[in-house]
A and B are shown apart, each in its own frame.
Chain A
Amino acid sequence: MRILIVEDEKALANNLKRGFSEEGYSVDVAYDGEEGGFMAETEPYDLIILDIMLPKVDGFTILKNIRKQGIKVPVLMLTAKDAVSNKIKGLDTGADDYVIKPFDFDELLARVRALLRRKGEVKSAVIGIDDLEIDTAGHQVKRGGKDIKLSAKQYALLEYLAYNKGKVITRIDISEHIYDYDFDLDSNIIDVYINLLRNKIDKGFENKLIHTVRGAGYILKE
């Protein structure tokens, strides 16, 4: 899952980047409204965390612009403005959630997960496919009741496939949503990760869950 953080307070932005990265998200950061707006309009993010008071272009304007272009990415506004009128304005402009500084990081993570789930069919924190269980809150994966240990990137890949279960995911989708701005697209690396994941998820099971769609990409289904 790829997240954009637009926040001018550098220390705060860096904390968020670190926290989300450690949770397996790929994170891009913009420190002002101009850069943030550009990135939000050109890159396919799964979620945007947006401050309101920003240099150059404010958060409301960025939000208005991306919604005008039909980009439906979930937007979570993160702001020090606690007036109810600001909350209403944010939600009416097209924000999906509104968190006031200072916030609890675990709560922010939970809200981000909830917004990511809302996009697809998934409704609860635990995604189940056949006998595979993915707990998106605790990052725990089980198959047939047995724990499976995954690296952060492997988990991120599995989670992305799980959020989009039953849908074909191209290599480009994966590179755009699992890796951040600095990643150089090399589909071989993705194939390597998919194979590693297959070894852990499907190896020794009769029913394979990760399927290759020839010429298109991969799909996670029963």
Chain B
Amino acid sequence: MIMFRSIKTRLLLWLLSAFAVIMISLGLFLYNRLDTIVMEMVDQVLLGKADLIKGLVHSDHGEIEFEMYHVTIGDYSITASGHYFEVADTKGNSLVKSISLGEHTLNGSRYPKNIRYFMGTGPYQEPLRLFIEEFQVLGETYVIYVGEDIKKELALLKAFRIFLLTIFPVAILIVAIISMIVIQVSLSPLASFSRQIGLITEKRLHERVDSQGVDSELKYLASSFNETMNRLEKAFQAQRDFLSDASHELRTPTAVIKSTADVTLRRERSGVEYREALGTVKDAAERMGGLIDRLLKLSRLDAEQSEKKERVNLKNVLKTALKTITPLAEAQEIDMYTERAEDVTVEGDKDQLAELFLSLLDNSIKYNRPKGSVSLYLARFDNWAVIKVADTGIGITPEALGKIFDRFYREDTSRGEIPGTGLGLPIAKGIAESHGGRVEVESRVGEGSTFTVYLPLTTSS
């Protein structure tokens, strides 16, 4: 039913059906009224005539007499004129009848006696309206029949019916045409609006529809469309920046590999030199591999919510992460101590949460001072699992604090001195967010930084 998916068609159908219902009701009502009025007029005539004829029945010296001659002239004297009367007694004996009836009678089984007004077929097959009434004269009961041919009246009603049936489709057609024009005109702002939207392509994402120039009904649509476009454009820009940053980060190890090969292949080398060159290539390739892994991880975190949902005991995860990182901490003589570790369970992906903890612990050691310390804290607070990792390291400048979760951002002082890809914290943030949580950071230069992770508790715990 594709055509009903169009606003125009639906509007038109609604309008036409409403109009048809009104037209039919009006037509039926008018026809009914006319029918009643016409029949009332006929009945009025019949009643008048019946009264007149009844008045002609009178008693003379105890005998019932009919003085019919007054009315036997005129219409009643012409056979099959369409004007008839008859008076009978209750036994069904016809006492007197109009000449127009000829051989026929109204006083028969064809016509019931208990209905005042009756519609039937006359003696000459004409449509007949009949008035039937019992009346008494001097204690005797008689029945009077007065009939009128209503051929003309029925013709009038028929003409009116035909008129209604003719005017109905014409009116519908006129209304349909007018409606279509009105709909077209009133929907034209929508058409121009959609033309404006159609001009926006991925290359022209900065374009917006004019939310001021449109009709008030479309203003809301236009402004919410523009807001959506703003968000989309921002997301597009972020993706573009990410791609350009990623390619930039991949260029450096590629350049190392390429230049090592170029320089080494320029002349014959000793085995030691070849081994050295291959070692450099291997390191660079490993760095690239690690970078690509992290990029993929980030793009997966971007694309979907964490799908794996299992109950994860954060205390155990933290313990494992701590065990993994201990050799690194010992190498730099950094004291790792657990301030508090409650049994806290959240729902999520265990591997991802382990990586989140490892990433924060790794940072707290890498950016620490030699013989510094890292304190760990895991507890329940309201509906949150709270994990704090506090180091005694170099700290983060206030300018850098807002950027450390940006992809590939690395503080200038750390660039070249501390190895890293600039993706650890963005991944940590991505993992926390895919679990419905967040990461916060506080820092003082020279004193240290504290990273706090908030993860929503499972409803059952």
What 16 additional pairs, Cβ within 8 angstroms, besides A12-B256, A15-B260?
A11-B256, A11-B280, A12-B255, A18-B263, A19-B263, A19-B266, A54-B416, A55-B417, A80-B249, A80-B252, A80-B255, A82-B247, A82-B248, A104-B258, A104-B262, A106-B262
B77 within 8 A of A: no
Q: Is the CB of B413 within 8 A of A81?
A: no
- Count A/B pairs, Cβ under 8 Å: 75
Measured between alpha carbons, how far is A83 from B284 in the docked complex, in Å? 24
Which stretch of A95-103, A177-185, A198-206 is in the interface? A95-103
Q: In A17-52, which residues have CB < 8 Å from any B CB? A: 18-19, 22, 31-32
Provide the A85-116 mask, 1 if CB < 8 A to any CB of B, else 0: 00000000000000011111110000000000
A159 within 8 A of B: no
Q: Is the CB of A19 within 8 A of B259?
A: yes
Q: Is the CB of B252 within 8 A of A100?
A: no
Q: Is the CB of B248 within 8 A of A55?
A: no
List 7 interface pairs A-B (beta carbons < 8 Å), by A numbering.
A15-B256, A15-B280, A80-B251, A80-B252, A101-B252, A102-B258, A103-B258
A131–chain B nearest beta-carbon distance, Å: 30
Question: Would A103 and B415 be within 8 Å (CB), given that A11-B280, A15-B280, A82-B247 are in contact?
Answer: no
Specify the chain A residue showing the minimal Cβ separation from B417.
Answer: A55
A68 within 8 A of B: no
Residue ranges of B at the interface with A (Cβ–Cβ < 8 Å) = 244, 247-249, 251-252, 254-260, 262-263, 266-267, 280, 283-284, 412-413, 415-417
Q: Which chain B residues border A11 with CB–CB below 8 Å? A: 256, 260, 280, 283-284
Provide the A54-66 mask, 1 if CB < 8 A to any CB of B, else 0: 1110000000000
Measured between alpha carbons, how far is A205 from B413 in the docked complex, in Å? 59
A53 within 8 A of B: yes
Specify the chain A residue showing the minimal Cβ separation from B280.
Answer: A11
Measured between alpha carbons, how far is A61 from B252 in the docked complex, in Å? 21
Q: Which chain A residues border B249 with CB–CB below 8 Å? A: 80
Q: Which of A100, A102, A105 contacts B263 (CB 8 A)?
A: A105
Q: Which of B254, B260, B283, B416 contacts A101 (CB 8 A)?
A: B254
Main secondary structure of the interface of B (DSSP, over half): helix
Q: Is the CB of A8 within 8 A of B263?
A: no
A9 within 8 A of B: yes
Specify the chain B residue showing the minimal Cβ separation from A101.
Answer: B255
Q: Is the CB of A15 within 8 A of B263?
A: yes
Specify the chain B residue showing the minimal Cβ separation from A20.
Answer: B263
Specify the chain A residue showing the minimal Cβ separation from B265.
Answer: A105
B264–chain A nearest beta-carbon distance, Å: 8
A16 within 8 A of B: yes
Q: Which chain B residues border A55 with CB–CB below 8 Å? A: 412-413, 415-417
Q: Is the CB of B266 within 8 A of A102?
A: no
Q: Is the CB of A53 within 8 A of B262?
A: no
Q: Is the CB of A8 within 8 A of B256?
A: no
Q: Is the CB of B248 within 8 A of A80?
A: yes
Q: Which of B244, B263, B415 contacts A83 (CB 8 A)?
A: B244
